[in-house]
Amino acid sequence: MDVRMFTLGMIQENAFLVRRPGASEAVIIDPGDEAPKLLAAFEELGVTLAGILVTHTHFDHIGAVADLHDATGAEVWCPAGEVEILRDPNAVMRWEGFGPFRGYDPEHLVKGGDVVSLAGFDFQVVSTPGHSPDHVTYALPDEGALFSGDVLFQGSVGRTDLPGADHATLMASIGSLLDRFDDATTVYPGHMGPTTLGRERQTNPFVLQILGA
């Protein structure tokens, strides 16, 4: 698996381009901003976009979705419970100094238990609410990879002081990831750098609290 991380915008959000090594098709996860930068990278790599996956609909994760679709024709997969936000982000995202944002009506809605087959991968959709009401994680177990959005970070977790967030729900979601995937699994998060479940199990104070350590 070839994973390229792009850190984008004022919030320094991570988008991930995923493909088979040398493949001409790729998937982008959470393109939050700077569509021209992403499009230039696609051209340099010689890839076409097979799909756009969204973990949740906070503005820093969806800011380039509409522009990428317009430029590439790639269809969009969005958590079903947050589709109205993607359709009209400015109705709920009133952050001083940010926006306005282009909305998009996605072609596909996902929920936990679904499988999204794109670019030679079968992305398992894992329900991981807490940071947002219907947040999902995209898992590739055979590749040992989780694209966790804003659920789990290096030494931290997603914030829960936003509308629709809930700390206990987020902790339960993280616990479900720890139960389901092994410690060697690489976590590709929406902010900061990649980590592993094993590293977070040993060092993350929030995870240690979940484990009762």
**For range 128-151, the mean pLDDT:** 98
Q: pLDDT of 20-54, one tens digit each? A: 999 999 999 999 999 999 999 999 999 999 999 99
Distance (Å, rounded) from C-alpha 53 to C-alpha 136?
Answer: 10
The reply to whether omega before 36 is within 30° of 0 (cis) is no
Structure tokens at 190: 């929406």
Provide the pLDDT for residue 90: 84
Q: pLDDT of 186-205, one tens digit each? A: 999 999 999 999 999 999 99
pLDDT at 94 over 80: no
Q: pLDDT of 151-177, one tens digit each? A: 999 999 999 998 899 999 999 999 999
User: Is there a contact between 119 and 19 (Cβ–Cβ < 8 Å)?
Assistant: yes
- Ordered domains of the chain (ranges, CATH): 2-211 (3.60.15.10)
User: Going by DSSP bridges, is the β-strand pair 152-153/2-8 parallel, antiparallel, or unpaired?
Assistant: unpaired
**For range 100-112, the mean pLDDT:** 95
